[in-house]
Amino acid sequence: MSERIYSLLSRLNVWDRGFFGMRGLSNYNLSCCVNTLLQTFSATWEIGDLLDKWEAAGVRADTRNVPLQLKRVLTAMRSDSPQPAPHRDFLHSLDRNCVRLSTQHDADEVFLAILNLMQQQMDDKLLALQIQNLYKISVETHVQCLECSSVQTVTSYMLSLPLHIKEDHDSLEDCMTSFFRHQELRGINCCFCATCEKKTPSKQSVKLHSLPPILCVQLKRFRNCDGYTRKLDSRVTFPKTFDFSETLKEAFSSDFAQNDCKYTLHAVVVHSGSAMCGHYTAYVHHRMKQRWYYADDSHVAPVSWEDVQRTYGGHSRSTAYMLMYRRGSKENGQQPELSG
């Protein structure tokens, strides 16, 4: 698209009217964080497909029910109306569940809150489990005592992968490698050893037991320093696609059995500003249009992959904070197989 046409359409506010098949969301009482997550949920079409199967017979009048209101707003976001999608009922349902309006929130915390509320409030527990399984990362944590060599193994799961980043240049692959690297725990970090019956120095490692259809990655850009929270704007590169089986084989547990470990990026949550005063936006890959769009509340515009790459960080204060990857190399419109 030429710059002249882009400028003309921008002046006519065509982007905001959903001309390109995506609906914006008005900023209502500091709702940019939730607006951004709604755009990522809309781009994660598997959630909408599962919610469409939910009858919700017993909760139709429940204004506190988050999955019911999410189902309604995602349906509205799929329509071709030129107006921003109505989502105040969803915002108020979150507010009634302690995700307050008129408050700045952390996107990863709200994301996890929404998934947990869906698990709690859906009366169809099988569908609720299928939605959670979309994101469920199953891991094994091994803690070996450095005094008696005994090993404790705990199996657990996460709904997003929290990755620490460096103060300078970093990459997604480097962050993941660091997450799965062995760590020694000493001093105040010592763990209780059942064999020694005391806290001892230990060696900890995390191994992947299974990967989900949708992999959510959180780049931990906020650090506490002397009682203050600051944001790291350091550069973190991330690819369109990556394959765990090629780059992180050492992260697999002994019984890891998945064949398809290739993932394709379909949404990026972006944070602009400082830790104490910021704004959230999103880049999402449209399933039908097969191109990237930028969503800033009610403003929606088509963009390029090069625009997405500008969120790597460095000199820019608009930095990627959460990455959503879909298993498989293509968005082929088929429901991925869900683990039990």
Which element (helix H / strand E) includes 322? strand 319-327
What the block records as the tokens of 91 is 């915002």
For the chain, report the end-to-end CA distance as a whole number of angstroms. 45
Q: Please say whether the dihedral angle defined by the alpha carbons of residues 78, 79, 82 and 86, taken in this order, is positive or negative.
A: negative
Q: Which of 209, 271, 279, 285 is flagged as catalytic? A: 279
- CA nearest to 89, candidates 64, 120, 115, 112: 64
Which element (helix H / strand E) includes 280? strand 278-286
Looking at this protein, which amino acid is placed at residue 189? N
Q: Is 277 helix (H, G, I), strand (E, B) or coil?
A: coil
Q: How far apart are CA 199 and CA 150, in angstroms?
A: 13
Catalytic residue list contains 32: yes
Catalytic residue list contains 279: yes
Find all residues with CB under 8 Å of 221, minimum gap 6, and list them. Answer: 165, 231, 232, 233, 271, 319, 321
Q: Is 266 helix (H, G, I), strand (E, B) or coil?
A: strand
Task: Return the active site residues.
Answer: 32, 279
